[in-house]
């Protein structure tokens, strides 16, 4: 399969972790977001939303949206699973993933940050405050969700990394990148460190991608 | 089960459509977003994210995030299904739903619009332009995804309404409410009208909720 992504995109980062956990080989195609390559007509034909990632399957089908890609990977390459077999636990894993994918990540997207500066005249301090608010509140909600389970597992929902961890790690990376202080979120940091120690997560890190730029 | 929602929340609206399609009875608990009821300690204990919806199951488990709730409903109350049984079609349905839930809706949330006005000093015109940009671009991407299938089905991905339609209808309602012109999106409007003609969608409309306020 052919994966269109960008080293710094946290939704591409999620997919890379899943590829690694499942041992799936793929061809990589860079979409240089900073250069606006996502707006090229050829890419738009592939992904009408003009965002990364896009996955082209071996049959030539095109899949968009990282969480949809992750679920498809889990359904077509079930081992090791990234979602529990129990409907309640699956719902919790998905809910956690969606706190990140639906409520944090969209507000820190490159296109949104650009809009804040260019259209609303936000300065650097205002942009930092915006990021601190949504990343801070969002990751605090994640900490609250983990507290609800009452379990001190190595990963979000058990002893194996899954969908929630796959979303958490790139989001914590973004918090670090944007200098958002989340040092008080004990479980979030603990789980982040447990994940970071695994090769599947380490190899998916933006700094280890072929299109990395410092 | 007990459903915590708000008449105007489009993520609560999505769940109401699914309850109706599947014929699931539930108790409704209003969370008055405009009055800030989502920040009450009792609600925060239920939903650390302090957003609607929250679903309390008959066993007392608490589920958050509308797409996770919808998937749980489909897994525990499978008839009629809201997701195809085919992995590729499921991936398309989920991708479409996530364009709305992950890229449009978070940018038009009450808390974000409030922030724009209060913290960034956006005036009414700037807020309208913000909404027009993200709702407009997002629903145009939806039109593009529907064109990719090349099929003139009654609903997004077939002849029965499913996850994609469940997300599309509340988003079109929001576009109407915010006066975003989407009259050129032929398939989106066609499908919206097909859905609106069904009792399950009509009864889920904000104006038909017990907590509706004009």
Q: Assign residue B191 the CATH number of its domain.
A: 1.20.1050.10
In DSSP terms, A63 is beta-bridged to A55
| Whether residue B175 is found in the same domain as residue B138 | yes
A68 and A102 in one domain?
A: no
Question: What residue has token string 């940018």?
Answer: B107
Distance of CA B208 to the CA centre of its chain: 16
Flag whether B111 is in a domain.
Answer: yes
- The residue among B106, B140, B144 whose CA lies nearest residue A47 is B144
Share of chain A above pLDDT 70, in %: 100
pTM score, whole prediction: 0.97
How far A185 CA sits from the closest chain B CA (Å)? 14
B35 occurs within a structural domain:
yes
Helix A87-98 and helix B66-76, axial crossing angle in degrees, nearest 10? 160
- Rounded distance between C-alpha atoms, residue B5 and residue B150, angstroms: 36
Cβ contact B69–A51 (<8 Å): no
**How far apart are the CA of A154 and the nearest CA of chain B, in angstroms?**
21
A191 and A92, same structural domain? yes
* Alpha carbons within 13 A on the beta-carbon side of B32: 8
Note the pLDDT of residue A150: 86
User: Residue B150 pLDDT > 90, yes or no?
Assistant: no
pLDDT digits over A152-190, tens only? Answer: 999 999 999 999 999 999 999 999 999 999 999 999 999
Last residue of a domain, one of B80, B99, B114: B80
Q: Report DSSP state, residue A39.
A: G
pLDDT tens track for B101-114: 999 999 998 899 99
Burial class (CB in 10 A: 0-12, 13-18, 19+), A146: buried
Q: Are residues B193 and B117 both part of a single domain? A: yes
Q: Is residue B117 located within the same domain as residue B19?
A: no
Taking contacts as CB-CB distances below 8 angstroms, the residues of chain A near B136 are none
Residue B213 lies in a domain: no
Helix (H, G, I), strand (E, B) or coil at A30: strand
Asked if residue B209 is part of any domain, the answer here is no
Q: What is the pLDDT of residue A80?
A: 98
Query: Which tokens hold the place of A213?
Result: 């730029």
- Same structural domain, A91 and A194: yes
Beta bridge partners of B29: B4
CA distances to A49, A144, B6, B44 from B35, rounded to whole Å, are 35, 23, 11, 15
Out of B102, B140, B148, the one facing A102 most closely (by C-beta) is B102
A56 and A41, same domain (yes or no): yes
Chain A nearest-CA distance from B41, in A, is: 13
pLDDT for B24 beyond 90: yes
For testing contact with chain A, the best of B61, B68, B105, B163 (most A CBs within 10 A): B68
* Contact in structure between B168 and B162 (CB atoms under 8 Å): no
Tokens of A1: 């399969």
Which domain does A60 fall in, by range? 2-80+204-208
Which of B63, B211, B210, B105 lies closest to B74 in space, CA to CA? Answer: B63
ipTM higher than the 0.95 cut: yes
How many beta carbons lie within 10 A of that of residue B97, not counting itself? Answer: 30
């Amino acid at each position: 399969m052919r994966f269109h992504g960008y080293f710094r995109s946290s939704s591409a980062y999620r997919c890379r972790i899943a590829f690694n956990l499942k041992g799936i080989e793929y061809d990589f195609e860079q979409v240089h977001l900073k250069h606006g390559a996502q707006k090229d007509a050829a890419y738009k034909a592939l992904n009408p939303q003009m965002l990364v990632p896009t996955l082209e399957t071996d049959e030539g089908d095109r899949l968009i949206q990282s969480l949809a890609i992750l679920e498809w990977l889990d359904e077509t390459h079930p081992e090791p699973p990234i979602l529990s077999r129990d409907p309640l636990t699956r719902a919790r894993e998905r809910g956690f993933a969606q706190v990140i994918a639906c409520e944090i990540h969209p507000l820190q997207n490159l296109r949104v940050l650009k809009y804040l500066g260019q259209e609303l005249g936000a300065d650097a301090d205002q942009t930092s405050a915006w990021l601190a608010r949504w990343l801070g509140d969002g990751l605090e909600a994640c900490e609250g969700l983990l507290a609800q389970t009452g379990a001190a597992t190595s990963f979000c929902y058990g002893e194996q990394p899954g969908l929630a961890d796959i979303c958490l790690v790139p989001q914590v990376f973004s918090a670090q990148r944007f200098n958002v202080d989340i040092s008080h979120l004990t479980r979030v940091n603990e789980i982040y460190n447990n994940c970071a120690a695994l090769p599947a997560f380490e190899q998916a890190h933006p700094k280890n991608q072929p299109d990395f730029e410092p």
